[in-house]
Amino acid sequence: MTTSDTEPELIGIEEFFADPEFSGATISPDGTRLAYRAPAHGRLNLWVRGIDEDHADAVCVTNDARRGITAFHWTDDPRWLLYLQDTDGNEDWHLFRVDLDAPGEPAVDLTPMAPGSRVFGIERSTEVPGTVLAWMNRRPTFLDTFRIEVATGVTTPHLEQTEPGTTVLLDRGERPAFVSRQADDGVIEFHTIDPETGDERPLQRIGGAEHPVGVQPQLVTPDGKGLLVGVYQDSDDLALVRIDRETGEREVVAAVPGHSLDIMGTMAPDVLPPTVFRSRRTGEVLAARFVGDRPRIEVIDPSFGEVYERLAGLSDGVLGTLSSDESERRWVATFVHDRDPAVAWFYDHETGESRQLFRAYPRLDPATAAPMNPVAFAARDGLPLHGFLTLPVGVEPRDLPLVLLVHGGPWANDSWGHDAPAQFLANRGYAVLQVNFRGSIGYGKRHLTAAIGEFAGAMHDDLIDAADWAVAQGYADPARIGIMGGSYGGYAALVGITVTPDYFAAAVDYVGISDLANFLRTLPPFVRPYNVNSWYRYVGDPEDPAQEADMRARSPLTMADRIRTPLLVAQGANDVRVVQAESDNIVASLRDRGVPVEYLVAEDEGHGFANPENQIRFYRAVERHFARHLGGRGEIG
């Protein structure tokens, strides 16, 4: 190892986990203004400024001092801006209206609802000016569509769901065009809907287990004559395909051999780059994102090709988010980058003018950040695995302490880009390995379905095989391997120290599952129809005694007597996905045996910490925990 004076200075935890100084920029439909997030009142709030102005001229238009704002939307009326907000992470999202003519006035809740009901998404109406369509479960187990008049808040039902688990897709006239529903065997059945009579006609059946998060995306073409979906066809790779409304024939719209369509953005559209980019003016699909060592953007609409070429020349990253005015002359784009996150640019396609708007974290120097290196190796059964290795800067990459950083889901993936926890750990001297174990989406049908029945089995073996690979390559010291993850990743960390109790020197469980049966029983009731191809297919149904017994055998709580690895647990008190009992029970089990465990509970958080003071508190504990037990840099405490 090189001498310590070649290592970069320790970067303060606040620099990694404080709110970004700027983020989420979008351009108004008329192309005259920008809206974006920036700190105010101790939280991320919304700011608006003229397209040619800078932040000194901007006006803060929200006043949230409790929880930062994540998702917001322009309307067709330049007076109003909309945003979504929950309470302390409980995910009961409400839609709020901001009056840009009176930014000091309190925001108006357009969707007052009983606890447990929420807004799942909104779209600007293409048919009725001054309104938006919102999807809400005012009926607790039904996801219905409502029309909301933005200026008055008047809300009327637009389309009611006839049975839980169905999805009705609207055409640009906002009439029912297609419906998808899940059959008892998990297959997704698509039907056309006659807009005049409402009669349904079978169109396609698309397989089940290879779509654990549903068939994504599901988009009606602007002419209403086709349905765009992600399907595997006869390939192992997920492609974007058009299904003809009349004939049922399939046409490949975008496909990349050896790569799958990246559907992560369909599951978290307000925080992740989109699966497809769509024209604000016409609704046509402009381009699609595919999974790779670096995300790949495939242009679909030839008219977008020149715009994309100019945008791509602005950064050595990958196009992340994109918005335009109605004329598609003016564009605002952000870019995915491993060392310089979320840089936003303005581009005028008519004049060719471009300029950088802002960097999300201007105090972080890209030159001192650690590159995120793609890696590949085989699991013990020969299944190809892909991942990313982030190594400390200025240190010889030999015999380092290693942190295996496990993503959640498990139907998600790690992808190339800025990862604050990985950068923080690398700065503290750790090699950070992220592996897309079997069950991760984006690496093909075979890779995905290889996870069926393999919780605490082959999915765990993949993680061990990844760490063993890092040891064999000389990167990692086998005596100083830690494991850390959130949600499913927290479950994986607990599995790691129960199924293989002597392998890891330290572990961090962040909002993780300890009891699979209890986890499924405590999920909100409206999600059950959507879990047929995921949790019930891959893990089991806790209402079946035999399956429940198998789930208990794969649950860390039933194996807690094997834990002797130093453990840190963190939990949000308002978590509706992984309830606090999941953490309470594993901690109580260890404390009853006299096994030391550090436990952090944030009373104002849900499934993951959003407020910066909670993130900083958590990662300060992570720094101490790993420094004490793995020997990295930073405060030991």
HEC readout, 35-64: EEEEEECCEEEEEEEECCCCHHHCEECCCC
Using DSSP's 3-state secondary structure scheme, residue 366 falls into helix
- Host H or E run for residue 297: strand 296-299
Question: According to DSSP H, which parts of 373-487 are helical?
Answer: 420-427, 445-449, 458-472
- What residues contact 184, with CB distance under 8 A and at least 6 apart? none
- Compute the distance between CA of residue 166 and CA of residue 187 in angstroms, rounded to an integer: 13
Distance CA 463, CA 379 (A): 9
Give the whole-angstrom CA distance, residue 224 versus residue 176: 10
Closest by CA position to 127, among listed 224, 199, 242: 224
Q: Would you say residue 419 lies in a domain?
A: yes
How far is the C-alpha of 346 from the C-alpha of 357, rounded, in Å? 6
Residue 1: the pLDDT is 34
> What is the domain count for the chain?
1
Cβ partners under 8 Å of residue 414, min gap 6: 387, 388, 405, 407, 434, 435, 436, 440
How far is the C-alpha of 282 from the C-alpha of 172, rounded, in Å?
Answer: 10
Q: Are 620 and 390 in contact (CB under 8 A)?
A: no
Could you tell me if residue 334 is inside a domain? no
Return the bridge partners of 372, or none. 390
Three-state secondary-structure class, residue 359: coil
CA 574/CA 353 separation, integer angstroms: 47
Give residue 408's identity as a one-letter amino acid code.
Answer: G
Nearest to 259 by CA among 448, 442, 449, 447: 442
Residue 153 Ramachandran class (φ > 0 left, ψ -120 to 50 alpha, else beta): left
Q: What are phi and psi of 354, to 5 degrees?
A: -145, 150
Distances (CA, A) of 50 to 21, 53, 54, 503, 567: 18, 5, 8, 56, 50
493 within a domain of the structure (yes/no): yes
Q: Are 218 and 180 spatial neighbours (Cβ–Cβ below 8 Å)?
A: yes
Tell me which residue of 578, 572, 576 sits closest to 602, measured CA to CA: 572
Query: Rounded to whole angstroms, what are the CA distances from 252 to 129, 232, 249, 353, 610?
Result: 34, 10, 10, 35, 39
pLDDT at residue 636 in the model: 74
Range of the domain at 508: 372-515+562-630
Q: Tokens representing 167?
A: 């999805």
Token representation of residue 509: 């469980």
| 575 among known catalytic residues | yes
> Does residue 106 have a cis peptide bond before it, meaning omega lies within 30 degrees of 0?
no
Distance CA 296, CA 442 (A): 12
Active-site option among 575, 583, 589, 629: 575
Given 73, 259, 337, 607, the catalytic residue: 607
Single-letter amino acid code for the residue at 433: L
Chain centre distance of CA 49: 28
Q: What are phi and psi of 109, to 5 degrees?
A: -80, 110
What residues of the chain score a pLDDT lower than 70?
A: 1-5, 637
3-state SS class at 356: strand
Q: Residue 172 domain-assigned? A: no
> The whole model's pTM is what?
0.96
The answer to whether residue 561 is catalytic is no
Confirm whether 590 is domain-assigned. Answer: yes
CATH number, residue 626: 3.40.50.1820
Give residue 2's pLDDT: 38
CA dist 396 to 7, 482, 498, 541, 628, Å?
10, 19, 32, 48, 22
Identify whether 324 is a catalytic site residue. Answer: no
Q: Which residues are paired to 105 by β-bridges?
A: none
Print burial letters for 376-400: b (CB count within 10 Å at least 16), e (below 16): ebebeeebebbbbbbbbbebebebb
Does residue 303 lie in a domain region?
A: no
- Whether 621 is covered by a domain: the verdict is yes
Distance CA 621, CA 599 (A): 10
Angstrom distance (rounded) from CA 85 to CA 93? 5
From the DSSP assignment, how many helices (H) and strands (E) are in the chain?
12, 35
User: Amino acid letter at 288?
Assistant: A
Query: DSSP secondary-structure letter at 624?
Result: H
The answer to whether 106 and 63 have CB atoms below 8 angstroms apart is: yes
Domain assignment present for 249: no
**Active-site choice (415, 487, 514, 583):** 487
Total Cβ atoms within 10 A of residue 30? 14
Helix axes 420-427, 612-630, angle to 10 degrees: 40
d(CA 579, CA 584): 9
